[in-house]
Structure formats: C-alpha cells, structure tokens
Amino acid sequence: MTRIADLLAAGRTFSFEFFPPKTDEGDRQLRQALDELEPLGPSFVSVTYGAGGSTRERTHQIVVDILRNTSMTPMAHLTSVDHTRDELRTILTRYRDAGVENILCLKGDPPRGVDPADVVEEITHAGELVELTHEVGEGAFSIGVAAHAEGHPANPDVAADRRHLAAKLARADFGITNLFFEARHYVRMVEELAELGCDTPVLPGIMPITNVGQIERMAQMSGASVPDDLRERLHAIADDQPEVRRVGVELATRLCDDLLEAGAPGLHFYTLNRSTATREIHANLGLTPTP
C-alpha cells in the first residue's frame, strides 16, 4: 500500500475517481472501467460515498476489493452528515483494520427526502471529521479534504471560504477540487491559499465533458461557472454525442496542459465509471505507459 501524502512528496500524481453502482449493469460497467484503467498505472483511485451514507457498505466493499485484488491504491471517501461519532469511528476502524490508508474527509449532503430536523449532525464540518480520522487512525491514514476552485456554492464570501479551506488543509495531507473549466480559477485559489500561509498540495479535479445536460447540472451543483463561449459551442453540438465527447476530450486535455504548466501537483479525473474519455486524455498528455 502507498499513502497519498508520500506519493505527492515524491512527485506528481495522476488519479481516477469512481462511484458505487446501484444496479448489476452499473457494477459490470464499473468493473470494466477498473480493468481498462488499471494498466495506466494510476497513483491512486478513489471511491465516493453516497449522501447520508447511502452507499456505506458498497463503498467499503469496492475499496477493499481494489486493495486486495488489483495493483491500484484505493482512497475511501467518507462523509459526516447523518452519522453519529460512534458510527464514524466504526467505519474508520474497519478501514484501518482492512489496511486502507487513504481517506477523503467530507461533510457531505443529507439523504434525499429526509426532514432536516431528523438528520444527525454530531459533526458539523469536515475539519472535525479530519480530527476524528487522525484520532482513530493514530497515524495510519493519509487524509484529504475537498476544495472548490471558485469557492463553495453555499458560501458567497469567497475570502471566508478560502480561510475555511486553509484551516482544513492545515490538518490534512492534500486537497482535491471540484470540477472547473478554466485553469485561472485553480491558479487563483492556490495563490490565495499561499497568501494565507497554506502550501498543502491541492489536486485539480478534471471532469471530461461527454454529456452536455449532465455537465451543466454538475457544474450548477458544485458552483462551477461555464464560460459563455464554451456553453454556446457545446449546445451547438448537443445532439451529436460523438462530437460532444471529442470536443470534451479536446477541452479537458487543454485544461490539463494549462494546469500542469501552472505547477499543479497532479490531476484527479472524475471518470463517472467510464474509461474512454479518461484514457484518451491520458494518452494525449503522454502519460500512457509504454507496453
């Protein structure tokens, strides 16, 4: 196993993210994506955690399966919303005992359809979960946190959000951003963190555009702005799926080039459990290992 903190200390990382499927067909698609992306030798791969812990067991199973049955290093996402401290301790202890060394600590979203008054919030922000993870892990975990390149959508005060992020990163080993479409947002975030005395590495999150409607929804949810010229270009070809994917790969490759040139410590690809676009970008960047 490898700790992400050690990987980042040694050089740039290139990583992939997956989510737990809900159906047999989704499971087949995930397994195919894992099989097709493993030969690229990612530094690590991450597995998301459903709102309110809705994928708790599936996330655990997939992370441990990757650990035991592939050559890849897994990272488990963990959210605190609608969990007691004891529940979180149990989850973290299971990961520690299974040999999982990397955890992404998130506040997360409450489960859909649940009255807010009924949602458990013994831990109210991700920073508290970071502290609990340190406590349970006793040095076993490399800990990451989430970052928003353009500021958190729930906090219109970007300066305050940067201070909050710097405080989280002060006790974490690394951060990973949400999706964004222009390198300048990431560069500004890093500069503003540096002004606050924070130099913890933050990996930019890359989501290739393969579906116009889907990317618009995700951008809105995460607070990412879509440039007008990009929106116009995409909507002009929205009914031509192969062309959307081609343009999406082209744009993501350019974004990755800009980020690496700006000094990003690596790239984290949101795969949506599909491998094609990620493999193409990986190859365009010259990262594909020589057979």
Write down the pLDDT at residue 212. Answer: 87
Backbone angles phi, psi at 163, to 5 degrees: -65, -40
**CB-neighbour burial class of residue 87 (10 A; exposed 0-12, middle 13-18, buried 19+):** middle
Nearest to 207 by CA among 150, 152, 249: 249
d(CA 47, CA 175): 15
Write down the pLDDT at residue 290. Answer: 46
Write down the pLDDT at residue 47. Answer: 97
Backbone angles phi, psi at 45, to 5 degrees: -130, 150
- Chain centroid to Cα 9, Å, comes to 19
Nearest to 288 by CA among 79, 41, 60: 41
**pLDDT by 10s per residue, the chain, length 291:** 589 999 999 999 999 999 999 899 999 999 999 999 999 999 999 999 987 667 888 999 999 999 999 999 999 999 998 899 999 999 999 999 999 999 999 998 777 767 776 677 888 889 999 999 999 999 999 999 999 999 988 888 999 999 999 999 999 999 999 999 999 999 999 999 999 999 999 999 999 998 888 888 888 888 888 898 988 998 899 999 999 999 999 999 999 999 999 999 999 999 999 999 999 999 999 986 544
β-partners of residue 120 are none
Cα–Cα separations (whole angstroms), residue 47 to 75, 117, 236:
6, 29, 34
pTM of the model: 0.94
Q: For the sheet containing 174-177, what is the strand order? A: 202-203, 174-177, 142-147, 102-106, 74-79, 44-47, 13-18, 266-270, 205-206
Write down the pLDDT at residue 288. Answer: 62
Cβ atoms of residues 179 and 206 within 8 Å: yes
Write down the pLDDT at residue 216. Answer: 83
Report the phi/psi class of residue 111: left, alpha or beta, with left for phi > 0 and alpha for psi in -120 to 50. Answer: beta
In the chain, count of helices (H) and strands (E)? 11, 9
Tokens encoding 270: 């949101």
Give the residue numbers marked as catalytic. Answer: 17
* Domains parsed from the chain with CATH numbers: 4-284 (3.20.20.220)
d(CA 141, CA 17): 19
What lies within 8 Å, CB to CB, of 291 at 6+ separation is none
Q: Where are the alpha helices (DSSP H) in 11-125?
A: 24-37, 56-69, 85-98
Write down the pLDDT at residue 82. Answer: 85
Q: Where are the alpha helices (DSSP H) in 55-201?
A: 56-69, 85-98, 126-137, 158-170, 183-195
Report the phi/psi class of residue 180: left, alpha or beta, with left for phi > 0 and alpha for psi in -120 to 50. Answer: beta
